[in-house]
Structures are given as C-alpha cells and as structure tokens.
C-alpha cells in the first residue's frame, strides 16, 4: 500500500513539473529565413501556426544601435507612415526602467501572458509611472503579421484595445483558414472598413518594418521564442524568456532598486 501511494505521489509531482514548464516555456521561434519565401498576406495561410514564410532580410546596413525605440506619441510620429511603424508604448516615457515585450499574436503562451500576467504588471508598475512599457510585434507567420499590421493601422489609442481583443479571442481566428476575414470583422468594430484593411495589408513599408525589427532584435538579443521580456535601466539589462510572472517581477524590482 505504501508503495502505491509513493507511486501516485511521484506521478503527481512529475505531472506538476510538466504542467508548469508548459505554462511558462516560450513558443519556439521558427528559422528567420525558413523556406526563403516572400510574405504574401493575401495568400492561403499555412496549416502550421509557427511555420515561417518570411522574406530573408539584409541586415548588413544595421549597426548594433540602429533600432532605437520610438514612442507612438513621440514628436517624430507626425505622418501616417511614421505613426504606423513606430512602436506602441504605455506609461511614463521618462521612467528609468524600460520594459520591452516581444510577442506573437498566434503564440498561445503569449496570449496567456498578455491577458493575465501583463495585465497585473501594467497595473503595478506601468500605471504607477515606475516603468515605461513597449510592445514589439514579433510575428511567426502570416496570420500574426496580418493581425499586427491591422493593429498598427488603427488610431494609436485603439492599438492596445485591439491587441487585447485578438489575444483574448485567439482560438477564434489564429488557427483558422479564414483568419484574415475574422481579423477584418474585429477591425470593423473599431471603424475600419474592408477597404481600409486591404489597403493596410498592402502597405509594404509597414510589413517590412515589422519583420525587420523582429529579425534585428532576434539577432541582437538572441531571442528564440515568445513571449520574451527585456527589462533594462541604463546599461543594465535582463532578458526573461517565457511567461513566468515571478521572473519578470523580480527583474523589474531589481532594476527599480
């Protein structure tokens, strides 16, 4: 009898470890130049959400510090193109501690992280003015890229509410063959017509901006999966891989000291 109970206890512990690892582990990032194919937003989507079909990009012209964060509210964001390609931010831009979150709209761990963990962190650190938050689109596939582009084409103040909708309803669109149609329906609720969506998805400058930022950060910080969080203050930085709330808070608290 004692042996049976010990066996059951061991099985519970193993299951718990596997469950925990699955909860916090990042979704692996596909090869940056997999297939060597160009992105075609209008083409049929892949059946595998994480399969990459992004166009290989020449990063030789980029220096190590060539990709400064630009707030969507910054003075340079004066025309529509700058406003579209600028990163979206929340909070006190003068805060010493900065936080970047790299996330893909078709990543299930990212949806969990965004809707639960980030919501609490925003209330505790960003809303209080301690941390300046920047979200960086890190699409893995054409579905995620389409969602990210449409979000960028919305008025700046609607970006994060729309992102919330996409993450909260991820299972309804991210893995469906008609994903772009569903995205268009969500966008219509924000005032975008189907023509606006089509025009947005045809914006090659925006498309390449998102992909280039993804590839550049992936190389700079060796990001291999999402969600990944970068916390820094001055020349100090820490990278947290996965959806581990405690790890993110520990990094933030360390930088805030």
- The stretch 25-41 carries a mean pLDDT of 38
Cα distances (angstroms) measured from residue 185 to each of 108, 165, 166, 206, 241: 21, 11, 11, 21, 33
- Top pLDDT among 65 and 38 is at 38
Confidence (pTM): 0.71
Contact between residue 77 and residue 71 where contact means Cβ atoms under 8 Å apart: yes
pLDDT tens digits for 230-253? 999 998 999 999 889 999 999 999
Structure tokens at 219: 């190389």
The span from the CA of 128 to the CA of 46, in Å, is 42
pLDDT tens digits for 126-156? 999 999 999 999 998 899 999 999 999 999 9
Cα 175 to chain centroid distance, Å, stands at 17
What is the average pLDDT value for the chain, to the nearest integer? 75
The span from the CA of 149 to the CA of 191, in Å, is 15
- 224 pLDDT tier (thresholds 50, 70, 90): confident
CATH of domain 2-256: 3.40.30.10
The span from the CA of 229 to the CA of 103, in Å, is 9
pLDDT tens digits for 88-117? 999 999 999 999 999 999 999 999 999 989
Q: If you search the block for the tokens 């209008």, which residue do you land on?
A: 42
Residue 136 forms beta bridges with which residues?
Answer: 102
């Amino acid at each position: 009898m004692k042996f049976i109970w010990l066996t059951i206890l061991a099985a519970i512990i193993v299951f718990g470890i596997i469950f925990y690892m699955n909860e916090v582990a990042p979704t692996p990032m596909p090869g940056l130049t997999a297939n060597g194919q160009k992105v075609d937003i209008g083409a049929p989507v892949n059946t595998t959400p994480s399969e990459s079909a992004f166009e290989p990009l020449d990063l030789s012209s980029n220096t190590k510090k060539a990709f400064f964060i630009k707030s969507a509210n910054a003075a340079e964001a004066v025309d529509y193109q700058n406003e579209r390609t600028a990163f979206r931010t929340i909070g006190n831009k003068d805060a010493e501690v900065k936080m970047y979150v790299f996330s893909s709209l078709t990543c299930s761990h990212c949806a969990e992280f965004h809707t639960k963990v980030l919501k609490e962190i925003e209330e505790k650190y960003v809303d209080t003015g301690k941390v300046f938050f920047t979200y960086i689109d890190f699409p893995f596939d054409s579905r995620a890229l389409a969602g990210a582009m449409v979000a960028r084409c919305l008025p700046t103040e609607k970006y994060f509410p729309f992102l919330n909708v996409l993450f909260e309803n991820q299972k309804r669109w991210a893995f469906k063959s008609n994903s772009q149609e569903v995205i268009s329906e969500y966008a219509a609720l924000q005032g975008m017509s189907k023509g606006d969506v089509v025009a947005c998805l045809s914006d090659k400058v925006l498309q390449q901006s998102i992909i280039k930022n993804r590839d550049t950060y992936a190389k700079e910080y060796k990001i291999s999966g999402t969600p990944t969080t970068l916390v820094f203050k001055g020349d100090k930085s820490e990278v947290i891989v996965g959806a581990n709330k405690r790890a993110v808070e520990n990094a933030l608290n360390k930088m805030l000291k």
